[in-house]
Structure 1
Amino acid sequence: MGYFLTADGGTESLRARVYDLTGTCLGSVAVPYETRFSAGARAEQDPEDWWKAFVQASKGAIAEARVSPSDIEAITLATTSCTVVALDENGKALRPAIIWMDVRANREADAVLATGDPALILNGGGRGPVSAEWMIPKALWIARNEPEIFEKAHTICEYQDFMTLRLTGERAASLNNVTLRWHYQVEHGGWAKSLVESLGLSALLEKWPQRVVPPGGVIANLSAKAAQELGLSPSVKVVQGGADALIGMIGLGVAKPGQLALITGSSHLQFGVTEQAVYAPGIWGTYRDCVYPNRHIVEGGQTSTGSIIAWLGRLMNGTMDLAELNRKAAELEPGCDGLIVQDHFQGNRTPYTDPLSRGAIIGLTLAHEPHHIFRAIMEGIGFGTRAILDAMATAGYRGTEITVGGGAGASDLWLQIHADTAGLPVCVPASRDAPSVGAAVLAAHGAGHFSSIDDGIATMVRPGRRIEPRTREMALYNDIYQRYLALYPALKSVATAGAQA
């Protein structure tokens, strides 16, 4: 029996887990770390905190699993993406890491898009977006605003790559991250050289890790120093992971063309698997070999989803009873007695890519109660997901089923609304710890137990529930959806004026 150590390096903490070959989690320990926020939408972390958290959590998870440290065969990490670090030649951080949610690089993102470089075809068919969250805008911000740091940096990389360096001594990037957020294209020679050069960032090409390893590929064994700190054998393999949400696709078992992962939480992310590239406006991006060899991942996203439910809870001043709201909302007919919610509370990521669009609740009367608004929010989010699926279908990708990971999986009502609004079956695997399960599959594959990631999924990812769309509700939602679609153009000028005021 093989045992595998995984780490899910999130925004607030790192959680280490130990899995066996059946996909069973035997031990799980989380260690928090600090995020420091400052004016200008800045958010930073100390990379040393990640390493300390990993060492502490790993030892705790192994102890809880009651396995011998000598039985751990491989390690794989899933971490936040677009968390950028600048390191000296000894691998020490020259400044705090600029984490994914930091959007100080807005002007730099505009400059990237303005180049019109062919590499930008990945996002909206060349029309964008380019996000301030991504690698090149953040690296450009460092070069413009902290030139001494940029010049001194031996390596500019991500959270994932920093941990790889600490574990192995190797400068290696994940193919997952670089295709997803660095504009790396396997089919066009790799690095976006002309894009970087057009921005005056030629030096960045040498600062990036030159070795690119796909998910499931063995990077190296643990270094002697890392093995000693972790209390593990130097024979342990370090297997490449990637961005938490994308590694979560593996943990959800979403691997076949037509399958789509819906990663839920404060926001929604939609990741579909396709054999062909899909480049078109209204699609966040399309990435070849990002997770699986010879397959593309097509991406959409909603900026605010679960966060709208949290907003409603704040308005209710701590009186929100989710169980009661779910019960009452489930008794309502689709449409919530005339209510429609536009889910753009923090702008729209896709299909409109309009940061100035705003949320709206339409059709309110004095008869409406909190459970009406609660359900209408869920329906609006479901319609937002359907709008993304429709944009993907227009571009050439048509999903056949949705597999949900994250918070929405806890609500039967929300799952059913997603099935009914999309007109597709919704699946929920037995384990909701998708990034960690996905990392375990990659570790087992890299350790030689499975010839492919797909074989690992077949053994280690356990199926759970399947919710079918209901014919009557689908028909009702089809009519309401047309009214939902009419909201965006009708409200656009009013919302834009308000957002700019």
Structure 2
Amino acid sequence: MTGAEHLLAIDLGTSGARAGVVTGTGDVVATHATSWSVQSPRPGWAEQDPNEWWAHAVEAVRGAMAGAGIGADAIAGLCVDTTSATVVAARRDGVPLRPAILWMDLRAVVEAEQLTAAGAGAGYSGDRPVSAEWGLPKVMWVRHNEADVWAETEVICDCADWLVHRLTGQWTMSVSHAAAKYFHDGTRGGWPEAVYGPIDGSDILARFPPRVLQVGEVVGPLTGAAAEALGLRTGTPVVEGAVDAYAAAVGLAVVRPGPTALITGSSHVVIAQTEQPGQLRGLWGGFTDAIVPGQFTIEGGQAATGTMVAWFRRALAGHAAAEAKQRGCDVYDVLNEQAAGVPIGSEGLVVLDHFQGNRSPHTDPYARGVIHGLGLHHSEAHVYRALLEGIAYGTAEVLGVLDRQLPTSGEVRVTGGPAASRLWMQIQADVLGVPLTFGRAPIGSLLGSAAIAAVGVGLFPDVDAATEQMVHLGEVLQPDPEAHEAYQFHAEQYLRTYPALREILELGAMNRP
């Protein structure tokens, strides 16, 4: 990194773009964030405009650079992390042919079922069906349902691939995305014939970016046009990144077997590393090379956690919004204050957190959210707390499935937006009954992408070495043993809800107009 002392990380999430300027010792010098919306033209659908991603990425980078007060020559390299299984159909020049199909979109249920019937889930999703969240079912949906778009599509790719093309002019795919959402497996020679053969996938493979790169490989130099837009130096190395949650795991130094990462945000993701290939029941993976070459990534999670809390704030928190406006504070400040006074268990309310289907351990796209136990004595605060508790119960279920099958150190490391809520995190710790360790960097994905960029430009030999120098863990939040004991009854009610209502939920989801 001769003459350059900083790394630039770009994170494209579900609700906005963020950029961060980070030093080689892991100090986050400056960040800048923007926000956008998700379009839902039909129930279960979620779309975004890729051109909006670029506009917001430009704004975020320029804001972070201005906040850092450094020149373009100070940036040694940059790396991008994004949502995954967010599918873009484009021309070879990068012009999108339709809105991007977002990761949380569940329209490709039939295609996922076709892949499951063909045996595609073997080695990837344990004993569960292929998920409609994944990228390949969405690609198949475009091919099956939008023939005109498919005929014009020259490149079909993920969000990160599209953004890297805007930066470099080159079409590549990160192995992180390819392995986690498109069935790529380096131990089986790459794109497996067992998956793509039964679906006549040759026309899909022909449209994928031609190069699959390891996390930390240099894609190429920043183009002049991209550099001018971003306010950076032409030729700045662009390093291949990872799935946003996987980058956040790097930002928590979960890059070897032992600790478990809990990534909070629009969704919740649980990540663990293992050196042994194979699959675990009720979880996804192991995905080959998805974070560290030669290791396997195990993933579980919940599909719409922060998103459903945001939905509650927008749709149902009228009284709290009015009070927040009167006091000049955020609505969440009011809700957290009020919910802190609600007893454990929300006085009989139980929330099933399947608002956008279930990711794991059930992998059920037909599952939907449930709030039961409502009485006339319940307030906004009760419902809000019950949402936080329901999410915590879901996380506990996922971690329980993981811990019963994979030896871990028992340490849970947490990052993401909801980690800033002391109430939410205390509920999470109390439900789990284990301490939560937080990274000092507020946004783990930015720190993780910066560490990956540092590897790409040669500051460190590998991601493990980068995290040793750049990742600094901070506060440890202890559970309350009495609260943990009190939560057991309510957690059991949560676990009983999905089996009791599964057929009803499936029938309702399948017969919606």
C-alpha offsets along residues 1-31 of structure 1, whole Å, 9 cap, x if unaligned?
6112221123343333222223233333345
- State the partner residue of 1:21: 24
Matched, 1:7 2:10: yes
Alpha-carbon distance in 2 for matches of 1:307, 1:323: 17
- Secondary structure of the residue that 1:395 maps to in structure 2? coil
- State the partner residue of 1:239: 239
Describe the shift of the 1:468–1:84 C-alpha distance in structure 2 as closer, same or farther (beyond 3 A): same
Alpha-carbon distance in 2 for matches of 1:357, 1:107: 15
CA RMSD of aligned residues (A): 2.9
- State the partner residue of 1:488: 498
Matched, 1:75 2:78: yes
- State the partner residue of 2:435: 425
What's the CA shift for 1:293?
A: 2.4
C-alpha offsets along residues 282-339 of structure 1, whole Å, 9 cap, x if unaligned?
2144312211223222111223433444455433424266445544544565434454
What's the CA shift for 1:182?
A: 0.5
Pairing of 1:83-162 with structure 2 (within 5 A): 83-117=86-120, 120-125=122-127, 127-131=128-132, 133-162=133-162
Alpha-carbon distance in 1 for matches of 2:44, 2:192: 27
Matched, 1:348 2:358: yes
Give 2:446's aligned amino acid: S
Alpha-carbon distance in 2 for matches of 1:328, 1:94: 47
Describe the shift of the 1:483–1:144 C-alpha distance in structure 2 as closer, same or farther (beyond 3 A): closer
C-alpha offsets along residues 249-287 of structure 1, whole Å, 9 cap, x if unaligned?
112332232322222234322222223345233214431
Give 1:190's aligned amino acid: G
Alpha-carbon distance in 2 for matches of 1:412, 1:231: 37
Aligned residues of 1:112 and 1:130 also touching (Cα < 8 A):
no
What's the CA shift for 1:342?
A: 3.3
What's the CA shift for 1:76?
A: 0.5
- Tell which deviates more after alignment, 204-213 or 178-187: 204-213
- State the partner residue of 1:254: 254
**Structure 2 residues without counterparts, runs of 5 or longer:** 322-330
Describe the shift of the 1:468–1:32 C-alpha distance in structure 2 as closer, same or farther (beyond 3 A): closer
2:483 to 473, 478, 481: 473
Alpha-carbon distance in 1 for matches of 2:40, 2:368: 24
Pairing of 1:28-427 with structure 2 (within 5 A): 28-31=31-34, 37-39=40-42, 41-117=44-120, 120-125=122-127, 127-131=128-132, 133-313=133-313, 314-319=315-320, 322-323=332-333, 325-327=335-337, 329-330=339-340, 334-363=344-373, 368-398=378-408, 400-427=410-437
- Secondary structure of the residue that 2:318 maps to in structure 1? coil
Give 1:406's aligned amino acid: G
- State the partner residue of 2:327: none
Identical columns (%): 37
Give 2:157's aligned amino acid: C
Alpha-carbon distance in 1 for matches of 2:94, 2:188: 30
What's the CA shift for 1:240?
A: 0.8
Describe the shift of the 1:101–1:472 C-alpha distance in structure 2 as closer, same or farther (beyond 3 A): closer
Give 1:351's aligned amino acid: P
Alpha-carbon distance in 1 for matches of 2:337, 2:42: 41
- Secondary structure of the residue that 1:299 maps to in structure 2? strand
Alpha-carbon distance in 2 for matches of 1:493, 1:145: 28
Aligned residues of 2:104 and 2:303 also touching (Cα < 8 A):
no
Aligned residues of 2:87 and 2:156 also touching (Cα < 8 A):
yes
- Secondary structure of the residue that 1:198 maps to in structure 2? coil
Describe the shift of the 1:460–1:147 C-alpha distance in structure 2 as closer, same or farther (beyond 3 A): same
C-alpha offsets along residues 90-131 of structure 1, whole Å, 9 cap, x if unaligned?
3433444333344333322222222113x6420134x32321
Alpha-carbon distance in 2 for matches of 1:70, 1:201: 44
Give 1:461's aligned amino acid: V
Aligned residues of 1:278 and 1:298 also touching (Cα < 8 A):
no
Give 1:5's aligned amino acid: L
Alpha-carbon distance in 1 for matches of 2:407, 2:351: 27
- Tell which deviates more after alignment, 391-400 or 2-11: 391-400
- Secondary structure of the residue that 1:207 maps to in structure 2? coil
Aligned residues of 2:285 and 2:296 also touching (Cα < 8 A):
no
Aligned residues of 2:131 and 2:364 also touching (Cα < 8 A):
no
- Secondary structure of the residue that 1:173 maps to in structure 2? strand
- Secondary structure of the residue that 1:456 maps to in structure 2? helix
Alpha-carbon distance in 2 for matches of 1:388, 1:467: 20
What's the CA shift for 1:431?
A: 2.1
Alpha-carbon distance in 1 for matches of 2:167, 2:391: 41
C-alpha offsets along residues 334-371 of structure 1, whole Å, 9 cap, x if unaligned?
43445444333444322223344444445555555544
Alpha-carbon distance in 1 for matches of 2:39, 2:379: 38
What's the CA shift for 1:494?
A: 4.7
What's the CA shift for 1:419?
A: 1.7
Aligned residues of 1:284 and 1:301 also touching (Cα < 8 A):
no
Give the TM-score normalised by structure 2: 0.87
Aligned residues of 2:79 and 2:241 also touching (Cα < 8 A):
yes
Describe the shift of the 1:394–1:455 C-alpha distance in structure 2 as closer, same or farther (beyond 3 A): same
Give 1:76's aligned amino acid: C
What's the CA shift for 1:238?
A: 0.9
2:461 to 436, 451, 456: 451
C-alpha offsets along residues 55-97 of structure 1, whole Å, 9 cap, x if unaligned?
4443343233221212211011111212222333434334443
- Tell which deviates more after alignment, 328-337 or 341-350: 328-337
- Secondary structure of the residue that 1:122 maps to in structure 2? coil
Give 2:208's aligned amino acid: W
C-alpha offsets along residues 451-496 of structure 1, whole Å, 9 cap, x if unaligned?
2212222222232210123333333334443343333333444544
Describe the shift of the 1:144–1:304 C-alpha distance in structure 2 as closer, same or farther (beyond 3 A): closer
- State the partner residue of 2:449: 439
The number of residues matched between the two structures is 498
C-alpha offsets along residues 118-168 of structure 1, whole Å, 9 cap, x if unaligned?
x6420134x32321x332222222322333443443322122112222322
Aligned residues of 2:357 and 2:365 also touching (Cα < 8 A):
yes
Give 2:183's aligned amino acid: H
